[in-house]
Chain A
Amino acid sequence: MKKNLFAAIFASIFMFSATANAAVDAAKAEEFVQKVTKEGIEEIINANVSQSVKDERFEKLFNNALDLNFIGQFVLGRYWRTATAEQKKEFISAYRELNIKTWSQRFDEFKGKNFIFKGTTPSNSANQVFVNSVVPMDQGEPAKVVWRVKQTGDNFKIVDIIIENVSLAITARNEYTAYIKTAPGGIDDLIKDLQNKTKKA
């Protein structure tokens, strides 16, 4: 009897700590991504407002939904550690601007499209989970879009978007670290280049 009681207590403690470690609420993460995409489609892509209003709304949604500081740190790879505080700030802001500009120009491509959510997959990284979705295309097979979501307390942020297995974070990291490696001015050159691209876009 005593043994059983001990086992029960042990089990409950163990289970409690297991759930505490998991720390990411997959169902809520999926709900979060659904909310973000719904807002994007209804309030921006399909909304009957001018492009400048759309841009404004998108910038707000983008800043609320994505953790650009976190992504930016990953994207710079080992160069993050050697960058000065000023460079870090400037890089994050240049990266943010370019992304917002790029995505804003793609609204029309997304007209009439919709996300169908397909549940979640656990991640090896702490407090993160993958939310799976597909986008039916006019032609051929549907496109696979996976959202990597990070939970901090009750707060959810998207930290990567994986389209047909291509992670935006990995692609940017490969590209930017390769660039810095050969650029004479290092990170400063990269920041300037990103700013120029934003202006031209």
Chain B
Amino acid sequence: MRGIYSIFAACSLIALTTASCANPNDRTSSMPADEHPTLEAYNRKMFEFNYQVDKYILKPTAKGYRAITTPYIRERVNNALANIKEPISAFNHLLQGEIKESGINLSRLVINSTLGLAGMYDVAGGWGLKPSKAGFDETLAKWCIKDGPFIVLPLLGPATPRSTVGLAVDSLTNPVYLATLNAPADVKDKIYYGYSAVSVIALRESALDLLDDLERNSVDYYTTMRSAFLQNRQNQNCINGDENISYDFDFGFEEEDQIFDEMNN
């Protein structure tokens, strides 16, 4: 009950400053909607630009990173990067009224930063404190803030207005950013850009096979990305929304085409 009140308070606060709280009943079709032609034209152009940047800069770098590291090393790096983000998850679980989850994030941070050697080893996970990520985008979703249309951001890629706000707030609550706030400008830049670069390359490396596969098998890479991105976001349900599962679209035909009978013979 207390959770509901805090959500309500937060929701009204957000409503004053940004968009209105969405009506939980206006959940539309589960399938990604058709795109406005103007937006689509812009998105496709930006998608192509990002694709070229990725092709010539990011992807080769990620491949190089994979070539000079072993899976063991990459797992240590990914663990350490995830550990840095535990406070972001703790903060957002708190905003979502999930006190216990928030405590788990903090416990993981303390245990893994020390016994787990700066987060490289997930000691806490072995003790039953399983990872549970949360970001501000998810918090906004829980507060029933609408997602908005699909937009492709320069360099950052697929996004929605809500995910963009989420990303911005996550960056501002990132411990690396906060810890270097009072550092001299040049030191701050070195640390923050260094950290960002490692994060981006590690993230791209982990998605190498998946994205290659997706691209190789699709006849319209942009539409595939858009569809998958929007569907994946539907797991973020509004706190007072209905429990309809997003992928339960109407999947039945009154009568199956008779061609199937021919084909089965």
Contacts and interface: CB of A to CB of B under 8 A. Distances in A.
Interface residues of B, number: 44
A141 B219 contact: no
Interface residues of A, number: 49
Contact of A170 (B32, B131, B218): B32
Interface in B176-215: 209, 213
Contacts of B79: 139
Contacts of A170: 30-32, 227, 231, 247, 249
Given A123-B248, A174-B31, A179-B219, A165 B131 contact: no
Nearest to A126: B252
Contacts of B219: 175-176, 179, 190, 193-194, 197
A174 B32 contact: yes
Interface in B139-189: none
A165 B251 contact: no
B50 interface: no
B223 interface: yes
A74 B251 contact: yes
A139 B218 contact: no
Nearest to A190: B219
A74 B250 CA distance: 10
B253 A167 contact: no
Interface in A58-72: 69-70
Contact of A174 (B78, B224, B233, B264): B224
Residue of B82, B251, B264 ringed by the most chain A CB atoms within 10 A: B251
B203 to A, nearest CB: 12
A135 interface: no
A124 B250 contact: yes
B220 interface: yes
Contacts of B224: 171, 174-175
Contacts of B247: 146, 148, 160, 162, 165, 167, 170
A178 B220 contact: yes
Interface string A110-131: 0000000000010111111010
B252 A125 contact: yes
Residue of B79, B82, B226, B252 ringed by the most chain A CB atoms within 10 A: B252
A19 B246 CA distance: 26
Contact of B75 (A109, A139, A159, A164): A139
9 contacts: A69-B260, A73-B253, A88-B259, A98-B217, A139-B79, A170-B247, A170-B249, A174-B31, A201-B217
Give the 7 A-B CB pairs with smallest separation, nearest first. Answer: A174-B227, A178-B223, A125-B252, A167-B247, A69-B260, A165-B235, A166-B231
Interface of A: 69-70, 73-74, 80, 85, 88-89, 92, 98, 102, 106, 109, 121, 123-128, 130, 138-141, 146, 148, 159-160, 162, 164-167, 169-171, 173-176, 178-179, 190, 193-194, 197, 200-201
Given A167-B249, A171-B224, 13 more contacts: A70-B256, A73-B253, A89-B263, A106-B213, A130-B248, A139-B75, A139-B79, A141-B130, A165-B247, A166-B231, A174-B226, A197-B219, A201-B217
